[in-house]
Amino acid sequence: MLDIKYIRENAELLKKTAEQKQIEVDIDRLVDLDKNMKEKQAAIEKMRTERNTLSAEIPTLQGDSKEEKVKFVRNLKEDLSKLEAELKPIEEEFKNLMLRVPNPTLPEVPYGKSDEDNVEIRKVGEIREFSFTPKAHYELGETLDLMDFTHASKIAGSRTYYLKNDAVLLEMAICRYVLDKLVSKGFTPMSVPVMVKDIAMSGTGYFPLGKEQAYEIGEDGLYLVGTSEVSLVSYHNGEVVDVKDKPILYAGYSNCFRREAGTYGKDTKGLYRVHQFTKIEQVVICKADLDEQYKLHDFLLNNSEEILQELGIPYRVVKVCTGDIGQGQVRKHDIEAWMPSRNAYSETHSCSSFNDFQARRSNIRYKDENGELKFAYTLNNTAIASPRILIPILENYQNEDGSVNIPEALVPYMGGKTLIGK
Query: 388 catalytic, yes or no?
Result: yes
CA angle 75, 76, 77 (to 5 degrees): 90
Where b means 16+ CB within 10 Å and e means fewer, 386-421 reads: bbbbbbbbbbbbbeeeeebbbbebbeebbeeeeebe
Q: Which amino acid is at 319?
A: K
Query: 171 catalytic, yes or no?
Result: no
Catalytic choice (228, 341, 350, 386): 350
CA distance 162 to 363: 40
Is 270 in contact with 136 (CB distance < 8 Å)? yes
With a CB cutoff of 8 Å and minimum separation 6, the contacts of 378 are 233, 283, 284, 285, 286, 354, 356, 357, 358, 359, 364
Nearest residue to 315 (alpha-carbon basis) of 339, 284, 338, 334: 338
Q: Name the β-bridge partners of 315.
A: 124, 337
Catalytic choice (159, 361, 365, 388): 388
Is 231 in contact with 192 (CB distance < 8 Å)? yes
Catalytic choice (171, 229, 258, 353): 258
Cα 43 to Cα 89, 195, 407: the distances in Å are: 16, 42, 69
CA distance 180 to 277: 20
Nearest residue to 420 (alpha-carbon basis) of 396, 400, 394: 394
Cα 391 to Cα 44, 135, 359: the distances in Å are: 61, 11, 35
Query: 176 catalytic, yes or no?
Result: no
196 φ, ψ (degrees, to nearest 5): -135, 165
Query: 273 catalytic, yes or no?
Result: yes
Query: 281 catalytic, yes or no?
Result: no
Catalytic choice (48, 128, 273, 342): 273
Q: What are the residue numbers of the active site?
A: 258, 273, 347, 350, 388
